A and B are shown apart, each in its own frame.
Chain A
Amino acid sequence: MRRRLAGVLASLFLVSTLLTGCGGTTTTGSGQAAGAKTVILARGADSISLDPVMIEDGESAKVVANIFDTLVRYKEGSTEVEPSLATEWSTSADGKEWTFKLRKGVKFHDGTPFNAEAVKFNVERQLPPNPTADMPYADFTLGMVDKVVAVDENTVKFVLKNPYAPFLLNLAMSLSAPMGSPTAIKKFGKDFGSNPVGTGPFVFAGWEKDSKITLTANKDYWDGKPKIDKLVFEVVKENSVRANKLLAGEVDIIDGIDPNDVEKLKADTKLNFSTSPGMNINYMGLRTDRKPFNDPKVREAISMAINREEMVKSLYKGNAALANGPLPSILFGYDKDLQPYPFDQAKAKQLLKEAGYDNNLSFELISYPNPRPYNSVGGDSLATAIQGYLKQVGVTVKITSAAWKEHKENVKNGKAEAYLYGWTGDNGDPDNFLYALLHSSQIGNGRLNDAKYNNPQYDELLMKAQQSSDKNERIKDYTAAQEILVKDAPWVFISSSMDMAAASKSITGFKIHPTGVYFLKSLDKATK
């Protein structure tokens, strides 16, 4: 019997190895030179793909931002741009033609030279009729481009359909705008996302799905060789486990910090804790096209009935900034003097009375249970707080909560009069908030103006700002537009969350960029 059993077990083992296929050899690391510097960054989820045109999520963008370069890049800590693969640029008088001079002598990691043809290739991949339907950002980032021309080896010209000021900032994004090696893209096709080749400070070395992505320093980087040898993006799903790994010294940097762990991490003397204002907005939207919120008086009353300052303090405990309008403070066009309706419940009651509601207004508020980047406590806690304030002025709020994906559908389909929602900016341009979320052309068809806000005066200011290449003019228009907006109150403006990360004290050169990604070219680690 024993021999028979052994036979069966052995064949079982054989079958299982056959099933799994004994793949070829792969190395999880290269032979390390003595004293090689490795930095490990732990985060909550893995990247989905490393092909810049195939992604829409932050975890993919974080890695892409360090393998690839863009024509222009964000300055440290701001959403202004500076030269990167392009050294200078100019705009034609009508604002439709943008000409970029390219940096000479740059090579992709596979040796392919970077030039105007390469730019053309990367852009045309995403211009009609070429893009596939699963390129989430092609249309957003490059949809305004009519054609792209390689003028000579080092000059490239974009011809736009209309003047479009945010275009320059789009070219700095980590989604869809980064430049990949045409040779590699042609060679790998659909699998370029697992074999990314760019010109960036780090070279892709390996990817164990759901476990870690390894990059090595690009020794020939045009902007100076990185100070570390190896950069690892490790996946640790549980927030608390991730924090503990940092405390235990198993990893060097973590992000996605749970509000419950903030104190513990801040208290540890071996760590640097960094918070920076995020490029996002957390708000309650009101359906301005339906009863009761088609009456501006009711919207005004709702805004006045909620003590936003107190609510943000108690819910987010200092990890989010009170919003004064639709823009986070990090963007140009943010106006620190802007004043939404003040907290005044007596006035709110009076307004409701004038609108014909005497303690008998009730409406449905749809919400979601899970935390979001702009709302660390989840929608339901926020909904309950709002419900409490409104009860004080005689308004009954019925909360309906659904899982995030379903909630999104509910918002799009207008399931209720009010909804909790938020937005994370794409490119650092105010247009990306004010136009994308509140311009009347963005109503319906799955677009993002779910409050159905429609004010011709506001629309006009936004169009003007979108087509103007004079930044000061644009800021003026955006300020005027925001003033209209806080008066109309289609949203209750709540907060912008802080991006938080923690790193060991031996790490220098780590900064969270307002766009939520990390540019780690100057990262360094002190050796013990």
Chain B
Amino acid sequence: MLRYIIRRIFLLFPVLFGVSLLVFLVLHVFTVDPTSVILGQHATAEKQEALRQELGLNDPLYVQFGHFIGGAVTGDLGRSLFTKEPVTKEITSRFPATIELTVVALLLASIMGISVGIISAVKQYSALDYMSMLGALLGVSMPIFWLGLLFIDIFAVRLGWLPTSNRLSSSVDMVVYTKFFLIDSVIHGFKTGDWGALGDTVRHIIMPAVVLGASSTAVIARMTRSSMLEVIRQDYVRTARAKGLSERAVILKHTLKNAMIPIITVIGLQFGSLLGGAVLTETIFSWPGVGSLTFMAIDHSDFPLVQGTVLLSAAVYVVVNLVVDLLYAFIDPRIHYA
């Protein structure tokens, strides 16, 4: 087991190297010269040349890539071309916002998805089943951008129930400890007795989390349904029924427990893809996380920042994948790693 884990961890490096190389090449071959963006209206050829020299953009590609990898290994991803701040600082200061949004989105998606999936499986071929699956189809195919704007229009503008964007209202003052605002606002509540910040934080996170989790909800629902259906037909479920157990116990204890394995896999994988999907969601809702940072970096042709954010997303993705694989071994007694 341990040997397997170590082998898997060593395998992460070539993957990340490949991702870095790909991103690097795409950026440097296809994007516009960032110097014209940095210098703005008065970018003369001489000034652009001087700036390219200063930023090291004139070095051969392999040298630039070498610098980047060399820095990345030591945890230095360079400085943003625009803000002049270290890329690692830019990313770490925004990472909590993205993690918080992703976790809440995944939590909502799991609760919703598993519930819908169970109902669908138990009432297979009923109207309810068809409706749920149609809903799931819609959820998967709905463009995040469109869904986000629709939500803002309905719930924030027309009904005025929820705020349109950001993580916290400007009028709310809160001391930040962890940068996870849900945790911070709870601490704030205990310290000051003022729970307004928690309410405000929750109201801000609902819409982006639902929109971000929409497609995951659908994926999880469909996985739950098919996995449940497979288990329901197994002999031991029939045995459980024959023993006279209540339908509830049969479904929740015997069936769901064994159906959970593929569902957990899907949830784990969704976590990785949600981090990617956060780019659009965060941009629409002005959510100051890594996603909107990525969007801004691409928009500005800010090479170091794009490389940093993509590398981080890839790293999170493969690590989550690994964790999911390992979870298998814990949960499923049939799987053995040699």
CA distance A247 to B53 in the complex (A): 48
A269 at the binding interface (Cβ < 8 Å): no
A153 at the binding interface (Cβ < 8 Å): no
Q: How far is the CB of B300 from chain A (nearest CB, A)?
A: 8
Q: How far is the CB of B76 from chain A (nearest CB, A)?
A: 15
Q: Is the CB of B327 within 8 A of A133?
A: no
B313 at the binding interface (Cβ < 8 Å): no
CA distance A12 to B102 in the complex (A): 14
Q: Is the CB of B330 within 8 A of A8?
A: yes
Q: Is the CB of A235 within 8 A of B84?
A: no
CA distance A241 to B172 in the complex (A): 20
Beta-carbon contacts under 8 Å, B152-187 to A: 152, 156-157, 160, 163-179
B141 at the binding interface (Cβ < 8 Å): no
CA distance A448 to B301 in the complex (A): 22
B51 at the binding interface (Cβ < 8 Å): yes
Beta-carbon contacts under 8 Å, A430-477 to B: 445-448
Q: Is the CB of A133 within 8 A of B54?
A: yes
Kindly specify which of A88-96, A119-127, A208-216, A324-332 makes contact with the partner chain: A208-216
Kindly specify which of B92-100, B213-221, B225-233 makes contact with the partner chain: B92-100
CA distance A251 to B171 in the complex (A): 10
Contact A446/B48 with A210-B296, A237-B284, A244-B164 known, Cβ cut-off 8 Å: yes
Contact A191/B85 with A136-B42, A209-B288 known, Cβ cut-off 8 Å: yes
Please name all residues of chain A whose beta carbon is closer than 8 Å to the beta carbon of B42 when the two chains form the complex: 56, 136-137, 139-140, 448
Contact A409/B51 with A28-B176, A209-B90 known, Cβ cut-off 8 Å: no
Please name all residues of chain B whose beta carbon is closer than 8 Å to the beta carbon of A136 when the two chains form the complex: 38-40, 42-43
Please name all residues of chain B whose beta carbon is closer than 8 Å to the beta carbon of A210 when the two chains form the complex: 94, 286, 288, 292-293, 296
CA distance A137 to B43 in the complex (A): 9
CA distance A29 to B37 in the complex (A): 33
Please name all residues of chain B whose beta carbon is closer than 8 Å to the beta carbon of A21 when the two chains form the complex: 92
Please name all residues of chain B whose beta carbon is closer than 8 Å to the beta carbon of A408 when the two chains form the complex: 36
Among A240, A426, A445, the residue within 8 A (CB) of B41 is A426
A-B contact count (CB 8 A): 179
Q: Is the CB of A245 within 8 A of B99?
A: no
Q: Is the CB of A19 within 8 A of B50?
A: no
Kindly specify which of A30-38, A100-108, A501-509, A518-526 makes contact with the partner chain: A30-38
Among A25, A31, A132, the residue within 8 A (CB) of B173 is A31
* Proximity string of chain B (178-210) to chain A, C-beta cutoff 8 Å, 1 when within and 0 when not: 110000000000000000000000000000000
- Closest chain A residue to B332, Cβ basis: A1
Q: Is the CB of B165 within 8 A of A446?
A: no
- Closest chain A residue to B175, Cβ basis: A27
- Closest chain B residue to A7, Cβ basis: B330
Q: How many residues of A contact B (CB 8 A)?
A: 69
Please name all residues of chain A whose beta carbon is closer than 8 Å to the beta carbon of B6 when the two chains form the complex: none
Beta-carbon contacts under 8 Å, A240-274 to B: 240-241, 244-245, 247-248, 250-251
Q: Is the CB of A250 within 8 A of B44?
A: no
Q: Is the CB of B286 within 8 A of A235?
A: yes
Please name all residues of chain A whose beta carbon is closer than 8 Å to the beta carbon of B338 when the two chains form the complex: none
Q: Is the CB of A27 within 8 A of B330?
A: no
CA distance A28 to B292 in the complex (A): 20
Please name all residues of chain B whose beta carbon is closer than 8 Å to the beta carbon of A132 when the two chains form the complex: 54
Q: Is the CB of A32 within 8 A of B173?
A: yes
Q: Is the CB of A8 within 8 A of B156?
A: no
- Closest chain B residue to A29, Cβ basis: B173
Q: How far is the CB of B157 from chain A (nearest CB, A)?
A: 4
Q: How far is the CB of B91 from chain A (nearest CB, A)?
A: 9
Contact A236/B286 with A28-B176, A49-B84 known, Cβ cut-off 8 Å: yes
B74 at the binding interface (Cβ < 8 Å): no
Q: Is the CB of A248 within 8 A of B53?
A: no
* Proximity string of chain B (27-47) to chain A, C-beta cutoff 8 Å, 1 when within and 0 when not: 000001100111111111111
CA distance A48 to B179 in the complex (A): 22
A17 at the binding interface (Cβ < 8 Å): yes
* Proximity string of chain B (92-123) to chain A, C-beta cutoff 8 Å, 1 when within and 0 when not: 11111001000000000000000000000000
Please name all residues of chain B whose beta carbon is closer than 8 Å to the beta carbon of A191 when the two chains form the complex: 84-85
A405 at the binding interface (Cβ < 8 Å): yes
B138 at the binding interface (Cβ < 8 Å): no
* Proximity string of chain A (470-504) to chain B, C-beta cutoff 8 Å, 1 when within and 0 when not: 00000000000000000000000000000000000
Please name all residues of chain B whose beta carbon is closer than 8 Å to the beta carbon of A240 when the two chains form the complex: 149
Q: Is the CB of B331 within 8 A of A405?
A: no
A424 at the binding interface (Cβ < 8 Å): yes
Please name all residues of chain B whose beta carbon is closer than 8 Å to the beta carbon of A244 when the two chains form the complex: 152, 156-157, 164
Beta-carbon contacts under 8 Å, A404-441 to B: 405-406, 408-409, 423-424, 426
Please name all residues of chain A whose beta carbon is closer than 8 Å to the beta carbon of B288 when the two chains form the complex: 208-211
Q: How far is the CB of B244 from chain A (nearest CB, A)?
A: 26
Please name all residues of chain B whose beta carbon is closer than 8 Å to the beta carbon of A27 when the two chains form the complex: 173-176
- Closest chain A residue to B84, Cβ basis: A190
CA distance A482 to B43 in the complex (A): 26
B283 at the binding interface (Cβ < 8 Å): yes
Please name all residues of chain B whose beta carbon is closer than 8 Å to the beta carbon of A133 when the two chains form the complex: 47, 50-51, 53-55
CA distance A92 to B157 in the complex (A): 60
Q: How far is the CB of B252 from chain A (nearest CB, A)?
A: 14
A364 at the binding interface (Cβ < 8 Å): no
A26 at the binding interface (Cβ < 8 Å): yes
- Closest chain A residue to B171, Cβ basis: A38
A134 at the binding interface (Cβ < 8 Å): yes
CA distance A426 to B149 in the complex (A): 35
Contact A209/B93 with A406-B32, A426-B41 known, Cβ cut-off 8 Å: yes
Q: Is the CB of B84 within 8 A of A28?
A: no
Please name all residues of chain A whose beta carbon is closer than 8 Å to the beta carbon of B156 when the two chains form the complex: 241, 244, 248
Q: Is the CB of A248 within 8 A of B166?
A: no
Q: How far is the CB of B228 from chain A (nearest CB, A)?
A: 19
A150 at the binding interface (Cβ < 8 Å): no
B82 at the binding interface (Cβ < 8 Å): yes
- Closest chain B residue to A20, Cβ basis: B95
Please name all residues of chain A whose beta carbon is closer than 8 Å to the beta carbon of B79 when the two chains form the complex: 190
Beta-carbon contacts under 8 Å, A218-251 to B: 232, 234-238, 240-241, 244-245, 247-248, 250-251
Please name all residues of chain A whose beta carbon is closer than 8 Å to the beta carbon of B171 when the two chains form the complex: 38, 40
CA distance A285 to B152 in the complex (A): 41
A350 at the binding interface (Cβ < 8 Å): no
Contact A237/B170 with A5-B327, A20-B92, A25-B175 known, Cβ cut-off 8 Å: no
Contact A20/B96 with A137-B42, A211-B166, A445-B46 known, Cβ cut-off 8 Å: yes
A193 at the binding interface (Cβ < 8 Å): yes
CA distance A54 to B179 in the complex (A): 28
Among A49, A56, A238, A406, the residue within 8 A (CB) of B40 is A56
A152 at the binding interface (Cβ < 8 Å): no
Binding site for B on A (CB under 8 A): 1, 4-5, 8, 12, 16-17, 19-23, 25-32, 38, 40, 46, 48-49, 54, 56-57, 132-134, 136-137, 139-140, 190-191, 193-194, 208-212, 232, 234-238, 240-241, 244-245, 247-248, 250-251, 405-406, 408-409, 423-424, 426, 445-448
The 3 closest A-B pairs by CB, nearest first: A56-B40, A29-B173, A446-B45
Given A5-B327, A22-B177, A191-B84, 6 extra CB contacts under 8 A: A8-B323, A20-B96, A31-B173, A133-B53, A134-B51, A238-B152
Binding site for A on B (CB under 8 A): 32-33, 36-48, 50-51, 53-55, 79, 81-85, 90, 92-96, 99, 149, 152, 156-157, 160, 163-179, 283-284, 286, 288, 292-293, 296, 301, 323, 326-327, 330-331
Q: List 29 A-B contacts (CB under 8 A).
A: A8-B327, A8-B330, A12-B323, A20-B95, A27-B176, A31-B173, A49-B82, A49-B84, A57-B40, A133-B51, A134-B38, A134-B39, A134-B51, A136-B40, A140-B42, A210-B288, A210-B292, A211-B166, A232-B170, A237-B283, A238-B165, A241-B165, A245-B164, A405-B36, A405-B37, A408-B36, A409-B32, A445-B45, A446-B48
